[in-house]
Structure 1
């Protein structure tokens, strides 16, 4: 997705930069607030406790992710997928669209 290489996704509440457009893998995910994006990497976040969650696509071990400045819950990190077809999500980040803003460098 080369068109996103000069884009940064930041926390809607405090404008803390969270992810690069170059790390955006998909815009086709859903979370509590609606649309969510899948990123290969995220920065300036704090991971919460590990927990097992039953999501639409199966059972996962996840950790909620929070903004390192304002503490806003942004989404989660996939730590483990129990279904082999979902293993590609391991180590990746879901960030809810409603919690971020797109900024251009």
Structure 2
């Protein structure tokens, strides 16, 4: 019996709200606050918090925390600005902490 195959998505681990498509993941080799994280080109069903400057291992960045739109869980952050030229590719992209999301439709 054939299964219907839809897009693979990542969801909030608390409320199962869809937040990111698997195809939008650029890299799974990032570090979050509490472990591994994914860099994504897009996000959905999220809200962003206030912008703030944070010092990371890769330099100073302006970021805004991203929250699940339904349950308000902090899922990661959005890169608003990178101050070092080599990090500019991150601008406008999203970090999802691996322990905050779950993959559906594997």
- Scaled to the shorter chain, the TM-score interval is over 0.9
Cα distance in structure 2, aligned partners of 1:31 and 1:25: 15
1:50 corresponds in structure 2 to: 51
CA deviation string 1:13-48 (max 9, x = no partner) = 000000001101000000111000000000000000
The 3-state SS of whatever aligns with 2:88 is helix
Cα distance in structure 2, aligned partners of 1:52 and 1:24: 24
Cα distance in structure 1, aligned partners of 2:37 and 2:61: 17
TM-score, normalised with respect to structure 2: 0.93
TM-score, normalised with respect to structure 1: 0.93
Mapping 1:1-105, distance limit 5 Å:
6-104=7-105
Cα distance in structure 2, aligned partners of 1:68 and 1:18: 9
Structure 1: which 5+ residue stretches go unaligned? none
Cα distance in structure 2, aligned partners of 1:27 and 1:13: 21
Structure 2: which 5+ residue stretches go unaligned? 1-5
The 3-state SS of whatever aligns with 1:22 is helix
Larger radius of gyration: 2
Task: Please give the root-mean-square deviation of Cα atoms over the aligned residues, in Å.
Answer: 1.2
Give aligned pairs, total.
101
**Aligned-pair distance for 1:6?**
2.6
